[in-house]
Structure 1
């Protein structure tokens, strides 16, 4: 009877989530797992419950623990999800990252049972569900307003990731490789804002990505998903987030006063100080009237001639910003003997490797292999 009750708790939505998170269509999963297409369809549509042997096959294929399929799902329906993506980004790749955001939510909600996280301190300066374009001059003013509210002054920001974590935003990284997506974010009703960043970018470009996502949270987080999905709106919304990121990272009053040349050498020096890519620096200088069009074009041609459009000077020097909030919370649980590593993995019922990646833990940190080590002391 107890066994029957356990299997009756199978959550079909978890199967859909795991399948989409791994990028499988229903037919592809059936083929790889050796289960019929019809059977998978029935499991997902609540018409049948898989036996344990079949569920083990599916779990192994999707690289999730079997217990994952018995855990109530966290709804991702509230709030718009923003994707900083290329035109070639597919619906499949967006679903993969939407589910990763859900997993991040599960991790931080679990940790909030034990810790008081920083209070959410992110100003929503536009509070409407319908998208209406905002003039760039207004966006510049809003970026300055956020800086003032956080007492940042007008100088370079030393660590964007830490700044946003202190403001109550959960930040995580994950490999985005071939998905044509640079970053994504979500701020559901009654939830913490979450930003998921690619770990495949340079330090300077990644800082711009996180500032871009902050722009979405400040300017667009109340609009409906359908508004963001409209092709005509999407380009405008993305350009507004880019403008916010540029103004937030490079205030015109301070950054503008430091522009004395359009030489590559000068831009490299500015990049070292402001930790923003040379191309973003040049674009900002042009947009606020410090570079003429021909000066901007000259600089891009110079970078192209030096084969530096994708790998700029200092890209191997600037320190990459890593999120620390989730990592510190998990390590604190372990180090203070509140939970073992096995407890955390078991109670989250998420793939161990995925927890490690999304929480910024070193690979293998949550492995139970360490439990097999017997401490010995030399004579």
Structure 2
């Protein structure tokens, strides 16, 4: 039989601590922007929060607008409903506000607004983590042509996507062959790249996105593409294209999406080099060999064949039909990113490990950011070390 007397005491102590913190937050300065951020991170509407607290949506709207701050007991309720420490809602911490219009979403039309808001709030938190680590560790300097403190100079690179990709290869000294580790290369040049299921089951609908409107360029890749390293690499190159080409963000703009695809294709498979290697007819064995050699999907090479005039439009359509049939026969199966360490983001994790050697602990960093440990591990891309209990 379990003794529950201590459990009850511990719960009372936690409630008392939350109430004390909430009172301090209310007294020191409640930050309405933090409430908005926490609500978006939780993927909740104002009405959903109001229903959990037993108040009106108008009241939640007033709290977020900063016209009427919540009472301490409401701060306790908000912290519980949004799964954040009460101290998260206090003012005084560095905060980089990012608007949804300042980010490129790969699949804008199929990304619900509430999930876009969640993605934006997640990116804001990644920046806060980066800022906290950068106070302790020298991260690689940002080396992105035209980028300066959250702005992109549009005249720094050619406007033509293919020429911009060629110029970036030149500036980053990438040669003309395969880029062995694209994500690591991006991190080496000071870009922050993440790969995290930050939206839970809805992550697949968010897809990748990027922004150059923060002090460091950021690219968020999502696990739904991580089951295929070649799609994952193309997505990363696509987002890099947005960062290089599109300082003036136009979310969902079909022309910008097309240009980012053209940039990615040229970056990964330079036309001058790949064209002589492409087969004159649809030889899938040859395409499979090239796919592994260059780190791109067979589909991408088929598209490249049409793009450079190797095959006709009817042959292009037939090739995709044939490829779909072959995949149903378990041929040309995708390879997960887990097999390719160079395509997994590592910069923030390594920065923390170095800071840890100099005395920083996970609990200390979590307290500084006013987040819970599971959230910090998600931001760092670190697995929870505890064994998982599975009931069968």
TM-score, with length taken from structure 2? 0.81
Report which stretch shifted further, 98-107 or 56-65: 56-65
- 1:186-208 C-alpha deviation (Å, 9 max, x unpaired): 1126x110111112212111111
Give, in whole Å, the separation in 1 of the partners of 2:375 and 2:110: 25
Conservation of the 8 A alpha-carbon contact between 2:100 and 2:116: no
Give, in whole Å, the separation in 2 of the partners of 1:27 and 1:349: 25
Counterpart of 1:213? Answer: 239
C-alpha change, 1:210 and 1:289, in structure 2 (3 Å) is same
Counterpart of 2:371? Answer: 350
Conservation of the 8 A alpha-carbon contact between 1:82 and 1:185: yes
1:276 aligns with 2:301: no
Give, in whole Å, the separation in 2 of the partners of 1:3 and 1:295: 66
180, 193, 198: which one pairs with 2:222? 198
313, 318, 330: which one pairs with 2:352? 330
Secondary structure at 2:209 match in 1: strand
Secondary structure at 2:208 match in 1: strand
C-alpha change, 1:19 and 1:4, in structure 2 (3 Å) is closer
Counterpart of 1:373? Answer: none
Shift of residue 308, structure 1, vs aligned partner: 4.9
- 1:7-65 C-alpha deviation (Å, 9 max, x unpaired): 23110111111112222111111113444434322321223333333322222221222
Counterpart of 2:284? Answer: 264
Aligned length: 349
C-alpha change, 1:46 and 1:243, in structure 2 (3 Å) is same
- 1:154-187 C-alpha deviation (Å, 9 max, x unpaired): 1111111100001110001122543523211111
Secondary structure at 2:324 match in 1: helix
Counterpart of 2:86? Answer: 66
Secondary structure at 1:111 match in 2: helix
C-alpha change, 1:246 and 1:66, in structure 2 (3 Å) is same
Instruction: Spell out the pairing of 1:1-379 with structure 2 (5 A cutoff).
Output: 6-8=25-27, 9-71=29-91, 72=93, 73-76=95-98, 80-124=102-146, 127-128=153-154, 138-175=160-197, 177-178=201-202, 180-188=205-213, 191-201=215-225, 202-221=228-247, 223=248, 225=249, 228-229=250-251, 234-260=253-279, 261-308=281-328, 313-316=332-335, 319-320=339-340, 321-334=343-356, 336-364=357-385
Q: Which runs of 5+ in 2 are unaligned?
A: 1-19, 387-392
Give, in whole Å, the separation in 1 of the partners of 2:118 and 2:38: 9
C-alpha change, 1:308 and 1:218, in structure 2 (3 Å) is farther
Secondary structure at 2:300 match in 1: helix
Give, in whole Å, the separation in 1 of the partners of 2:181 and 2:129: 23
Report which stretch shifted further, 341-350 or 66-75: 66-75
TM-score, with length taken from structure 1? 0.84
Q: Which has the higher helix share?
A: 2
Counterpart of 2:15? Answer: none
Give, in whole Å, the separation in 2 of the partners of 1:66 and 1:278: 50
Conservation of the 8 A alpha-carbon contact between 1:79 and 1:186: no
